[in-house]
Amino acid sequence: MDKLALTLESGTYLSGLLTLTIPIAIHLLSKHKGKIVPFAHIALITVKNSPQLNQARLTQWLLLIIRLLMLLVACGILAQLFWNKNANTSADIVLVSNDWLTQSSDAEKQQLFESLNANQSPRLFLIDGLNQPLSQRKLESKAVLAFQGDTSSTTTPLNIWANLAEITKALPKSQKIQLYTTNRLNQFTGQKVTLANPIDWHIKFLPSTSSEPKLAASLAIISDANHQQQLAYIRGALNALTATLPVDIKVEYIDFSALANDLDLAAQQSHIIYLVDTPLPTELDNGAITIINSNQLQDYTQVDFPLILATQLFASQTKQWFSDNARLSNYQITELPTIDLLERQQTSVENGQPLHIWLILILVILFVVERLVSEWPSKHTAQVEGN
């Protein structure tokens, strides 16, 4: 059920509430005892309470309360209080990633299941890709226990930040989110985004792996008579790679004059090095094969040419291995860009009604009342003396 909720934008200004101690300190310090003056015996004199003394005490208390209220309202103005019409008092949104479900133990899943059931209105959603409405992401709490994943395999790369930005578009800005994910790099493949919703991160820290990437490539080298020198350098570079690095490279050498008969063989490879000046046949340029032409290997006479060739062959595999096995710190995951002042003000307008105008009006009224109360005893005393 949505209800009005009092929210503030600049919580640091609440430190101004310490100024409330100033009127209290002045009030306590000003209550000094009067000086005792020796006088004749007054035991027979009837002591009466002065109405003016009682009135002065009452006035002091009223002034103290009014001045405290003035400072309290001023702090509320600086803190930018507003009524949040979209405040949701129901359960938090719980988001869980496939990688967390895959890597978590049965005890961790049981703990999440119990926390969902303890909530009166559990709302569990799966983060598994972009361009999905919130309704299609919904999961039953029992699906957490029933999930069976292969802990030895890595999951599909994901951008948790972009998914959060997409999901929060359908939520009130004050809706709190409980997010369960791992610290694997491939779960955060993208730029960070600004998020207005409060997020409670539950990050499962996976241990770093020390295994080396298994690099493999099936290669077709298509050449003609004009590129024999470059072909010789490529042969030498491939021999150097296979002799010094743990790589598995299978090579098929195809002469351009016989390419028509070997199109099927070339199409079965992961990479094609094309050392021909004429355009590559359309049958091979289908996007499924990585094409390396002679222009990309201009430095074939350099000493570091084997490294250049290895970069061309294994760059994508190395990047994938690093993404799967690298780990992020808690700070790298949770530290998101801050919302600037203009966006914060727009968020406040969207969420609810600002109260600073009403608070300023209340402050003016309190100031007028304070002036009237502080001047009233002196005017009353002057009127009594005149009579």
pLDDT, one tens digit per residue, over 171-181 is 877 788 999 99
Helical segments of the chain, H only? 21-29, 51-78, 98-103, 106-118, 134-137, 142-146, 160-168, 228-244, 263-267, 305-325, 330-334, 341-351, 356-386
Give percent helix, percent strand, percent coil of the chain, each to the nearest 5. Answer: 50, 20, 35
Flag whether pLDDT at 356 surpasses 90: no
Q: Could you give the CA distance from residue 90 to residue 122 in angstroms, rounded to a whole number?
A: 9
- Please enumerate in sequence order all residues whose Cβ is within 8 A of that of 290, keeping only pairs 6 or more positions apart, or say none: 270, 271, 272, 316
Q: Specify the range with the lowest mean pLDDT, choosing from 29-38, 59-68, 106-115, 166-175.
A: 29-38
The first and second tokens of residue 220, run together, are: 């077709």
Question: How is the beta sheet containing 352-354 ordered, strand by strand?
Answer: 5-8, 81-84, 352-354
In the predicted model, what is the mean pLDDT of the chain? 79
The first and second tokens of residue 352, run together, are: 């609810």
Q: What is the pLDDT of residue 89?
A: 46
Q: Could you give the CA distance from residue 193 to residue 161 in angstroms, rounded to a whole number?
A: 6
- Please enumerate in sequence order all residues whose Cβ is within 8 A of that of 319, keeping only pairs 6 or more positions apart, or say none: none
Cβ(245)–Cβ(310) below 8 Å: yes
Classify 53 as helix, strand or coil. Answer: helix
Helical segments of 159-227, H only? 160-168
pLDDT, one tens digit per residue, over 183-219 is 999 999 888 888 888 899 999 999 877 677 788 999 9
Q: What is the pLDDT of residue 49?
A: 59
pLDDT, one tens digit per residue, over 87-107 is 444 568 899 998 999 899 889
Q: Could you give the CA distance from residue 257 to residue 222 in angstroms, rounded to a whole number?
A: 9
pLDDT, one tens digit per residue, over 224-278 is 999 999 999 999 999 999 998 889 999 999 999 999 899 999 999 999 999 999 8
Highest mean pLDDT of the ranges 31-35, 54-58, 144-148: 144-148
Domains and CATH numbers, the chain: 5-30+52-84+355-386 (no CATH), 93-208+326-338 (no CATH), 215-316 (3.40.50)
